[in-house]
Amino acid sequence: MSDGPLIVQSDKTLLLDIDHPQSTDARRAIAPFAELEKSPEHIHTYRLTSLGLWNARAAGHDAESVIDTLLKYSRYAVPHSLLVDIAETMGRYGRLRLESHPVHGLILITTDAAVLQEVARSKKIAPMLGERVDSESIIIHPSQRGHLKQALLKLGWPAEDFAGYVDGQSHEISLKEDTWKMRDYQKLAAEGFWHGGSGVVVLPCGAGKTIVGAASMAHVKATTLILVTNTVAARQWRDELLARTTLTEDEIGEYSGAKKEIRPVTIATYQVMTTRKKGLYAHLDLFDNHDWGLIIYDEVHLLPAPIFRFTADIQSRRRLGLTATLVREDGMEGEVFSLIGPKRFDVPWKEIEAQGYIAPADCVEVRVTLTEHERLTYATAEQENRYRAAATTATKKNVAIALAHHHSEDQVLIIGQYIDQIDELSAELGVPIIKGETPIKERELLFGQFRRGEIKCLVVSKVANFSIDLPEASIAIQISGTFGSRQEEAQRLGRILRPKSDGRGARFYSLVARDTVDQDFAQNRQRFLAEQGYSYRIIDADDVYSGQI
């Protein structure tokens, strides 16, 4: 028995003692393979899952390194049954491989004939299989490559895909590194993708995921389709590619609600790709009617279901997913793993912060006590309306206004979920608002004025959660959100993490109504902050009014 910070249990939970001097080192060591479940004050609970272990395996961590980490930091003897389970679970990854055969085309091959026999008998998998080549390999219909990987993952036998990729139409793309220098982790991320062929790179907002995309394009040197969350993000990608690569304006097209340009590098929005006309997805032929060498999925954790379905059919194209968090609230992390690819690179947010590439952040939860009338309104609301009743009170709005006044010299973003709530805030503060109905030109104008400091405060809806580059934003005030979404917490914190020109840190306020579901949801969102090593403090709304913040 040692005095480590970790208690490893046979039910696959890991308890981390936050007050232990080695807790930070232990948290970083287990982050590649364990998922945080609960994060109260003193003991954080992590869980080992098959998908987490397979992602770790794909990113280069073997069972031995995972077991060594647990043994190193565990306070008590690690249950032998758990060590066996980790080794066997991670050993399942790659027991089946997809390969290209010079005679038979796409084949599924195994190092364990019994495993191949087992999966071949599955009613879901059998229709995807062709003839047997021998006891260790079987022919696969090429159109079933993605669907087979999905089905094998669900059976607990994730296949490694070595079948290769079509080169796509060649197109020269190089980085202009004479005017700027890539960071070491960006190079490692792009190389991790290139050597793996397809997969996901996980980096914090502000750490340069676009540059990783550009470097990956320079590796592939082929026509590229980039899928993004909205038109503002599309134009930010275009500007970044023009600044960082040899691409010219004529080589980059925008495929959105406003434009339908198809160029060697085409940037399309998820919204236009999933638009339906007469029940059909009118624009999905953009995927397969062009000989793309690379498809980049920005904010891959938000990928809509129709894009997943179509991605299953284009497994011969190289695919790169970019995200700040692999958490999906719909539980479809397995679809990302099997269809986009496993995690190829990940780095803790705090590590990037320590290198000075993202700003340090102070996370503050402001507890708000509702008035008696507001409590009664909340108590009598239908279950499905209770969060809104708690999140949109006048008491909360007044605290947000007080915080905005307190930080009047800073660049402040006030972020909310409910349009009537943020409309009121915008009107009472006399500051501009950006929401779904705000025209793209007006959004770009307001974001530009905010970047230059001509506007000190902006009220934004959830449209500003994603891919918006606001380097000087240093204060975020979250007044309402999408229930307990950890991915949203990551995106909103990310809006203020760009390094500031004067070296200032950032502060992320989250306003939470006491004794309501708002408080329950806040605990779930805080799991993300804890997972990345951010401590957060809880203050009372009275401290805001007294200026003790």
Tell me the whole-structure pTM to 2 decimals.
Answer: 0.84
> 3-class SS at 374?
helix
Give CA torsion, residues 342, 348, 354, 355, to 10 deg: 0
Residue spans of the domains in the chain: they are 6-90, 96-162, 184-347, 356-546
Q: Which two tokens stand for residue 391?
A: 């999140």
Place of tokens 């503060």: 429
Displacement of CA 155 from its chain's centroid (Å): 25
> 3-class SS at 296?
strand
Fold for 184-347, please state it: Rossmann fold (3.40.50)
C-alpha 91/C-alpha 95 separation (Å) is 7
Q: Which two tokens stand for residue 79?
A: 């249950």
CA distances from 417 to 50, 201, 525 (A): 34, 28, 15
Place of tokens 């401290």: 543
Strands 276-277 and 280-281: antiparallel
pLDDT tens string, the chain, 549 residues long: the values are 568 999 999 999 999 998 999 998 998 899 889 987 777 678 888 999 999 999 999 888 999 999 999 999 999 999 999 999 999 999 999 899 999 999 999 999 998 999 999 999 999 999 999 999 999 999 999 889 999 999 999 999 999 999 999 999 999 999 998 888 999 999 999 999 999 999 999 888 888 999 999 999 999 999 999 999 888 889 999 999 999 999 999 999 999 888 899 999 999 999 888 888 877 787 877 877 889 999 999 989 888 888 888 898 889 999 999 998 877 767 788 999 999 999 999 887 888 888 888 888 888 989 999 999 999 999 999 988 998 999 999 999 999 999 999 999 999 999 998 999 999 999 999 999 999 888 888 988 998 899 888 999 999 998 766 556 676 788 999 998 875 566 677 777 777 877 777 778 889 899 999 999 888 888 766 777 776 777 778 899 999 988 888
C-alpha 416/C-alpha 460 separation (Å) is 7
Long-range contacts of 444-448 (CB under 8 A, 24+ apart): 444/232, 444/235, 447/232
Q: Where are the alpha helices (DSSP H) in 140-258?
A: 145-155, 184-196, 209-220, 231-244
**158: CB partners within 8 A, 6+ apart:** 54, 92, 93, 94, 96, 149, 152, 337, 338
> 3-class SS at 489?
helix
**407: CB partners within 8 A, 6+ apart:** 475, 507
The answer to whether 184-347 and 356-546 have equal CATH topology is yes
- Give the pLDDT of residue 346: 85
CATH architecture of 356-546: 3-Layer(aba) Sandwich (3.40)
C-alpha 24/C-alpha 16 separation (Å) is 10
Cβ-contact 168, 266 below 8 angstroms: no
